[in-house]
Amino acid sequence: MIAIYLVAALAVFAAIRATVEKNTGRKLPYVNVMNFAIAGTIVLLLNHPLALVAAAAYFVGSTLEANAIASTYAGGEQRG
């Protein structure tokens, strides 16, 4: 089953691009792709209902984090 290897490779690719990108606002979409990949990986590794909950928890958590970073970043721009 190559799906999981494909997804893992995309996670690495997205992590590299996020790191290389200098601008915060443009980093976040790359991190978003990585988070999709990791959430998918969790279920692909373990075909179990709890894995679905774990993937959802990971994804919502990472989205909340990205949202917080983006909001704080936005607040800084308006003040500065």
Site for another protein in 31-60 (CB under 8 A): 31-60
Rounded to the nearest 10 degrees, the angle between the axes of helix 49-79 and helix 24-45 is: 170
* Contact assessment for residue 7 and residue 44, using Cβ atoms and an 8 Å cutoff: yes
Shortest spacing between CB 80 and another protein, in angstroms: 9
Shortest spacing between CB 31 and another protein, in angstroms: 6
Count Cβ atoms within 10 A of the Cβ of residue 64 and give its class: 0-12 exposed, 13-18 middle, 19 or more buried.
exposed
Shortest spacing between CB 61 and another protein, in angstroms: 4
**Range 60-79, binding another protein (CB under 8 A):** 60-77, 79
